[in-house]
Amino acid sequence: MKINNNFGPSGVNPYKRQMNKLENAGKPARTASDKIEISSTAKEMQQVSQLSENRKAKVEELKIQVENGTYKINSKEVAKSIANFYTKK
């Protein structure tokens, strides 16, 4: 009868493998550095967000007018916009 020192199909002692895992657990893993590339579309979107700053200012101004009761609705402009919206199909 022949006795081998190897356990399992891979020929590696499972207890030794576990010990190697424990020894390597204390060592920091080597990581690759990350790289970020911003597409031209994303850059354009950033410029649009700057335009939204003007829009925010306008919204704040309108909020103040509504709260004070000084905001006036131009009914002719509203009607014109609605008509344009439905006729553009």
Give the pLDDT confidence score for residue 3 in this predicted structure. Answer: 67
Q: Is the pTM of this model over 0.75?
A: no
CB atoms within 10 A of CB 7: 13
Say whether pLDDT at 18 is over 60: yes
Q: Is residue 7 in a domain?
A: no
Task: Please determine, for residue 63, whether its predicted confidence score (pLDDT) is greater than 90.
Answer: yes
For residue 81, is it within any domain? yes
* Domain coverage including residue 86: 42-89
Number of domains in the chain: 1
Structural domain contains residue 31:
no
Instruction: For residue 26, tell me if it sits in a domain.
Output: no
Top-confidence residue, 51 or 78 = 78
